[in-house]
Structure 1
Amino acid sequence: MSEGATTKSPPERRAAGGPVLQDEVTRALTAAFFEELAETGYGRLAMEAVARRAGAGKAALYRRWPSKQAMTVALVSRAATAGAVPDTGSLHGDVREFLRGWITALGHPLAGRVIPDLLAEGARNDELGRALLSTVRDPRREQATEVLRRAVERGELPPETDIELNLDFLGSPVYWRMAVVHGPVEEDYLERVTAKIVAALTA
Structure 2
Amino acid sequence: MDDKILQTTRELIDEAGYPALTVDRVAARAGVGKAAIYRRHASKAEMAFAATMYDRQLPPLARTGSLHGDLLALVRAFHVRMATPEARQLAPALIGELAVNPELVKRFQDTFLAAEQAAFADIVEQAVARRELAGPVDPAMAHLLLLGCLASALYILNLPVDDALLTDLATAATAGITALADRHRSAPDGAAEQR
- Bucket of the pairwise TM-score, normalised by the shorter protein: 0.7 to 0.9
The Cα offsets for residues 118-163 of structure 1, whole Å up to 9 and x where unpaired, read as 2221232222222122121121111112111110111000125455
C-alpha distance 131-27 of structure 1, shift in aligned 2 (>3 A): closer
Letter in 1 for 2:110: S
**2:18 corresponds to which letter in structure 1?**
A
Alpha-carbon distance, 1:93 to partner: 0.9
More helix by share: 2
- Find the aligned partners of 1:169 and 1:27 in 2 and give their Cα distance: 30
Output the CA distance in 1 between the equivalents of 2:144 and 2:129.
20
Relative to the length of structure 1, the TM-score reads 0.70
What is the aligned counterpart of 1:69 among 22, 42, 47? Answer: 42
How many residue pairs were aligned? Answer: 174
- Unaligned ranges ≥5, structure 1: 1-18
Give unpaired runs (5+ residues) of structure 2. Answer: 180-195
Larger Rg: 1
1:38 corresponds in structure 2 to: 18
Q: Percent identity?
A: 21
- 1:10 maps to none
- In 2, Cα distance between equivalents of 1:95 and 1:143: 10
* Aligned counterparts of 2:162 and 2:172: Cα–Cα separation in 1: 16
Q: Which residue of structure 2 aligns with residue 13 of structure 1?
A: none
Question: C-alpha separation between the residues in 1 aligned to 2:136 and 2:18?
Answer: 43
**Does the 8 Å CA contact 2:142/2:173 hold for their aligned counterparts?**
no
Does residue 107 (structure 1) correspond to residue 83 (structure 2)? The answer is yes
The 1:153–1:33 alpha-carbon spacing in structure 2 relative to 1, beyond 3 Å, is farther
Correspondent of 2:127 among 151, 154, 160: 151
CA pair 93-64 structure 1, distance change in 2 beyond 3 A: farther
Check whether the contact 2:45–2:93 (CA below 8 A) recurs between aligned residues: no
Distance in 1 between residues matched to 2:131 and 2:86, nearest whole Å? 40
